[in-house]
Amino acid sequence: MLDIRFIRDNPDAVKLAARRKNFPDVDIDRLLRLDADIRLAKQQLQEIATRKNAAGKQISKLTGPEKQQAVQKLSAFKDQEKEFKEQLDELTPAYDELMLLVPQIPADDVPDGKDDTENVEIRSWGQLPQFDFEPKDHVSLGESLDIIDILRGVKLAGSRSYFLKGDAALLELAVLRFALDHMVEKGFVPMIPPILMRDEAMVGTAWFPGGEEQAYQMERDQLNLAGTAEVPLTAYHSQEILNEADLPLRYVAWSPCYRREAGTYGKDTHGLYRIHQFQKIEQVIFCRSDEQESIAHHQAILANSESVVQALGLPYRVVNVCAGDLGRGQVQKFDIECWMPSRGQGGAYGETHSASRFYEFQARRLNIRYRGEDKKTHFCHTLNNTVIASPRILIPLLECNQNADGSITIPEVLRSYMNNRERIEPRN
């Protein structure tokens, strides 16, 4: 969340951010009125406490009518105190609710736009595949190779479900393990986190409020299935004070992920692009409260993921995500979109990675601080990015590497994870 002092000093900038990010549920004027009323009530309580203390000290020195008057005066102070406490009890929940809705202000170079169709390409890499035969999409390839079974997945679990079997299962494990090893070599600490999260972790990472419809919620246990390891990794140090000398902290997690995909009826229903359950390698960084340092880490985590995609030989582009496609807490986000030959008419890029920086937004919600050399505590900055997510990454891996005989060439960097095989071939 934003610092209320910043909101007081910059209400127009915060209102503009809410409009640019398409968050009409934010009422900054009401928030500031509540803030003023709360501050006034607290001030009144402080003044009453001072008067109560003074009156209490005087009572023991008084006798007769003067003492009786002093007792009555003290009783009146207590009634006033109760009144202002009740006022705070009424104002504070509404204030807290509104504060959670206030969006982070986008960076200056975030483009305007209403949704992902208006994201701006920054650069591209790789040559788009050219086929001298009629290429198949990943579903047809998977079915012909008997490595993807969507029909039985739907039979057992409903729409957007699937089985990976045989070489597709091995390929997913190979790409996940390659991505994890790649990050460990860069000094990231590997983690396998819990994925059932309490509301506090979901709110702290800014998935709630606003993302409840996308989460599978276990009401009986008051837990939520997280849609990304960003949630447990970022909440890992909640309510802690870290040492500046230990920063930056770099973590990488392998986890299952779950998303309801509410509101996407009829969108990307074919194949493995938009499904309910997937696996992901996620990177998270905690760093000092320094904007230039955060920007440098943002470029670094983006480069980490680009190097993985380049090692896989997949053509891709990087886009600067527009304001209307940013989440509530993101300062800026860069997406990597890999080329998928079957997407759209004749192929198109599809989002496979998202790299985000938040500054203090998540750390304030989670109360993650560090003690600096100045002996003062400061809120950390947080960042995260997908390293790889599967099975979506299998779409370009299968489609871009298909051969005329229906086989799939395995990228060289994955072969050691697949018994040094060069191809996934049709069964005889």
Active site residues: 259, 274, 351, 354, 392
Burial of residue 24, with CB atoms counted within 10 A of its CB: 0-12 exposed, 13-18 middle, 19 or more buried: exposed
Residue type at 227 in one-letter notation: G
> Dmax over Cα atoms in the chain, in whole Å?
109
Cα dihedral 337, 343, 344, 346 in deg (nearest 10): 100
Residue type at 320 in one-letter notation: N
Sign of CA dihedral 210, 214, 218, 220: positive
- Phi-psi domain of 271 (left: phi exceeds 0; alpha: psi -120 through 50; beta: other): left
* Residue 175 neighbours by CB under 8 Å, 6+ apart: 312, 388, 390, 393, 394, 397, 414
CA end-to-end span of the chain, whole Å?
Answer: 59
* Residue 41 neighbours by CB under 8 Å, 6+ apart: 84, 87, 88, 91
Q: Which residue in this structure is represented by tokens 């990597």?
A: 336
Report which secondary-structure segment, H or E, holds 284.
strand 277-287
Tokens encoding 427: 């069964």
